[in-house]
Structure 1
C-alpha cells in the first residue's frame, strides 16, 4: 500500500494537486494544470468496462491510480498525478506515465473525470465518470507532443 502525503494550499475554489515519487512513495501537492489541457479534446476514449481497477473511492487523490492500476505495463516509475478541484461537482485528474520500457511509446497520459457518487454532492465518495488516453512517442515513431494517435 502506498502512503500519500497530502499538502493543501492555494486559493479557495482553485485547488490542484500532483503526486510525485519521493523515496519510492507518492507525495501530493497543489499544482496548476497546463493551459493546453482542453477538456476531452485530443483524447482517445477508454471504455470504463476495460478498466480492471476500482471505479469508486472516498479518496479522489487515489481513485485515478486505483482505476488505472492495471492499465500501464512497463513503467518502473510512479506516475505524476495532477488534480483539478476547481469545480465542486467534478474532479479532473491527469495521470502521466513517462519512461516506459517500450520502443515506440515514450509516455501515456490519462484524463480521469470523477463525480460524486451520491446525488446530494456531499462529496464523501467519488466515482470515475470518463477516461481518455493520449500518447507521446519515441523519436521517429509518431507524435512528439501528446496525441490520441497510437505510436508506430
Structure 2
C-alpha cells in the first residue's frame, strides 16, 4: 500500500516541479495592466527589439522631464536561454496623479531575432490620488 502512495505522490509532485518556472513567470506578471506588443511599439517607437536597445529606447522615453525625479532603474534579466525581461521603473514623475511608472517587457529569441511576447505596466499614485504601491489600478 505504501508503494502506491509513493508513486501516486510522485505523479503529482514531479509535474508540479517541472511547471514551476511558468508559475514564477505568471507571478511576475501579476497585477500588471496588459499592453499589446504592437501597441507598445507604437507608443514608444521602439525601433529595435534587441533587449539592450529596447531598454534604452524605453528608458529614453522618460528622459525629457526629470524635475521631481526620485529614482530611475533599468534591469535586464535573462531567465532562460533565448528569453529576456526588461524592467524600467521611474519614480517621481511630474504628473499630478501618477508618481511612478513601471514597465515589464518580455522577449523571446526565435529564428534569429528577438520578439516582444508580453508587455505590462504598473503605476504608483501620489498621496491622495490613489494607491501608493505598485498596481495595475489607475490613479485618480
Shorter-chain TM-score bucket reads 0.5 to 0.7
CA distance in 1, matches of 2:103, 2:116: 12
| Greater helix proportion | 2
Q: How many residues align?
A: 110
TM-score when normalising by structure 1: 0.60
Q: Which has the higher strand share?
A: 1
Partner of residue 49, structure 1:
38
Q: Give the Cα separation in 2 of the matches to 1:74 and 1:98.
A: 14
RMSD: 2.8
Quote the Cα distance in structure 2 between the aligned partners of 1:84 and 1:73. 22
Q: Which runs of 5+ in 2 are unaligned?
A: 1-25
TM-score, normalization by structure 2: 0.65
Which structure: larger Rg?
A: 2
Distance 1:47 1:149 in 2: 17
Tell me which residue corresponds to 1:63.
54
Q: CA 1:144–1:99 in 2, change beyond 3 Å: closer, same or farther?
A: same
| Structure 1: runs of 5 or more not aligned | 1-36
Partner SS for 1:57: coil
Task: Give the match for residue 85 of structure 1.
Answer: 78
Partner of 2:130: 142
